[in-house]
Amino acid sequence: MSLFVRLADWHTDRNAIRGIRQKVFVEEQNVPPELEWDELEETAQHFLVYHDSKAIGTGRLTGGGKIGRMAIQREARGHGAGLELLRRICKFAGLSGQKNVYLNAQVHAIPFYEKAGFVPVGDEFMEAAIPHVRMERTLNDSEPSENLDDWNR
């Protein structure tokens, strides 16, 4: 599967981002819409992952290195899109000066995040009526060099 991840902007890419998250979180996982959309949308750095020219996934990075709202459309799961999206979000966070990133992982997805170098921290908790656990990762400075200007070429 050929994948491409790019920076996204809430104002210009809102329809793609909302469409993916609506399907995955609100429809599939029954997350109440009032919990899905929050005040961080406009200030977060959003990302879109594409297969060919179709947006198939999204995620965001908010203040303090928090990764969230990672969603891959059902038909695209299992082909590496989620790991590629997560890898690129982590890379962007490092290039932006973050030394560590964290996320609240749905418990069933812990092995997925562990593959990307995240480790569980703390106890299980409920978020949107779904069991979660906080996971953290220290970013590696020895990855191949790149700069923020390379992102949207």
The CATH code for residues 3-143 is 3.40.630.30
Provide mean pLDDT across the span 88-113: 95
Q: For 3-152, where are the E strands, in sequence order? A: 3-8, 45-51, 54-62, 66-72, 100-106, 119-127, 130-138
Distance CA 51, CA 58 (A): 12
DSSP 8-class letter at 73: -
Bridge partners of 132, per DSSP, are: 106, 125
Q: Which of 53, 15, 16, 31 is nearest to 127 (CA)?
A: 31
pLDDT digits (tens, 9 = 90+) for 9-48: 999 999 999 999 999 999 999 999 999 999 999 999 999 9
pLDDT of residue 140: 79
pLDDT band at 72 (very low <50, low <70, confident <90, very high): very high
pLDDT band at 153 (very low <50, low <70, confident <90, very high): very low
- Domain coordinates in residue numbering, the chain: 3-143
Mean pLDDT of the chain: 91
